[in-house]
Chain A
């Protein structure tokens, strides 16, 4: 069982959360020509790092807020969590 510290509600068990994937992915800028490769990187391509990984989680059975988690994908150790507008 993972225990994740929601930045709004505090420490809760994994069962309350849904996973949202890599948080470092940036949508291409609006109102400008976007190449196939840029779309490819945004929609499909992922680094899927082994080790420290910054990712999105959704406190779906709690405050329903999205937030960022820095977690080790090999050991599942959670180093930091942060609100969406904060840096990790």
Chain B
């Protein structure tokens, strides 16, 4: 594989950039693979990459209905963080933060990881106490957390409304300085390019129509490009999880919802990190291009539409205006929606299933992007070793029947009630 560097850039400039190698091939599917990953999003591509790199399993295919990176990895608001209170979630995502820090070098692809910090705002003494507790839990797991007072928050975001007569006055906030953002498409493309170079077949425009299971063991998948045999199959399909589960006669603790985001026209740099305004169902950051990137609530009813409804955008931006009045002067550039696999306790599932050789990666709610590397890393381990890694041992499918829920926020799928 051609290495990307300033020298290769200069060299290719002499031939008008017409002689670059393709970043990944467009193979026809083989008859059989050791592992098939369904879903060519960030998590699926990362899983294939770590299967090849960490476990030397290279006879792998990624099957994608559309094109790689066209789902939620291309639709999120690029936030990366590990500010969780529960040990299982904290350790899992902090391991992911370590992967993020080295990802550009590892993939030889600039994912533009930018640790610019995240602040969760607090609006009461009780919330400050809760954040102090969460911050302490984070620090016990080796995650950086700083409790900010009102004046310290003001230094970070002086343009917020700090007047006393607002509905939710700012008391302070919890900051994770090492959190940040990354270029989401580059993550998908970087993983795809490296996975391809190690022998993984990336098969696009190939829809899974059914599964072949015999004697409780998976033997292959039926696709729009024919039957493909496989010893092991991993599901990484986020918002399409319920659709494929139905083909397997499985009913999962997942409900599918639409989440919207939007960006404003680009403006000069004014917001350094990410700010969340939970009381107003709103969060915001500024992209490197200068657009204000904003999001908030789910649309509020089951949806596979991949586009949202206006009342939710209005609700989210009403919260945004309450916090940042300057937003009223900005024009909205784009809004879009993605389909979330909302788990019932708000935490993901990376586990084996009752079918031998079938593995499940789902339930990312609206936090899948930040976990892309660690999800791929642990899912690859789970598939290769046929058992969960210690990091994802608590992200089990049976935790709903056993009662060991990871209800970090205690809100599940009806987040607009919480």
Contact = CB atoms under 8 A, between A and B. Distances in A.
Residues of B contacting A: mostly: mixed
Interface residues of A, number: 28
A19 B415 CA distance: 11
A22, A37, A40, A48 interface centre (most CB from chain B within 10 Å): A48
A21 B255 contact: yes
Given A1-B309, A21-B414, A47 B303 contact: no
Nearest to A44: B253
A46 B243 CA distance: 11
B303 A73 contact: yes
A37 B253 CA distance: 12
B310 interface: yes
Given A41-B251, A44-B344, A47-B242, A1 B310 contact: yes
Interface centre among B242, B300, B302, B304 (most CB of A within 10 A): B302
Contacts of B246: 47, 49
A31 interface: no
B251 A19 contact: no
Interface in A25-44: 36-37, 39-41, 43-44
Interface string A45-73: 11111100101000000000000000101
A71 B172 CA distance: 43
A68 to B, nearest CB: 13
Given A14-B309, A36-B401, A50-B242, A45 B301 contact: no
A87 interface: no
B327 interface: no
Interface string B382-405: 000000000000000000111000
B254 interface: yes
Contact of B309 (A2, A22, A49, A50): A2
A12 interface: no
A49 B242 contact: yes
A40 to B, nearest CB: 4
Contacts of B252: 45-46
B400 A48 contact: no
Contacts of A45: 251-253, 400
Contact of A15 (B243, B302, B311, B402): B311
Contacts of B310: 1
A45 B253 CA distance: 4
Contact of B255 (A1, A2, A15, A48): A48
Contacts of B251: 41, 45-47
Most B-side CB within 10 Å, residue of A40, A43, A55:
A40
B303 A76 contact: yes
B240 to A, nearest CB: 8
Contacts of A43: 344, 400
A74 B400 contact: no
A46 B305 CA distance: 18
A44 B252 CA distance: 8
A48 B344 contact: no
Interface in B256-313: 256, 300-305, 309-311
A21 B369 CA distance: 26
A1 B300 CA distance: 12
A55 B301 CA distance: 9
Contacts of B303: 73-74, 76
A46 B400 CA distance: 13
B403 to A, nearest CB: 9
Contacts of B256: 48, 50, 73
A13 to B, nearest CB: 8
Nearest to A40: B401
A37 B300 CA distance: 27
Nearest to B343: A44
Contacts of B344: 43-44
A48 B242 CA distance: 6
B310 to A, nearest CB: 6
B316 to A, nearest CB: 14
Interface of A: 1-2, 14-15, 18-19, 21-22, 36-37, 39-41, 43-50, 53, 55, 71, 73-76
12 contacts: A1-B309, A15-B311, A19-B301, A21-B255, A22-B255, A40-B253, A46-B254, A47-B246, A48-B254, A48-B255, A49-B242, A50-B256
Given A75-B305, A76-B309, 6 more contacts: A1-B309, A19-B301, A43-B400, A47-B246, A50-B242, A50-B304
Interface of B: 242-243, 246, 251-256, 300-305, 309-311, 344, 400-402, 413-414
The 7 A-B pairs of least Cβ separation, nearest first, read A44-B253, A48-B242, A45-B251, A19-B301, A44-B400, A40-B401, A44-B344
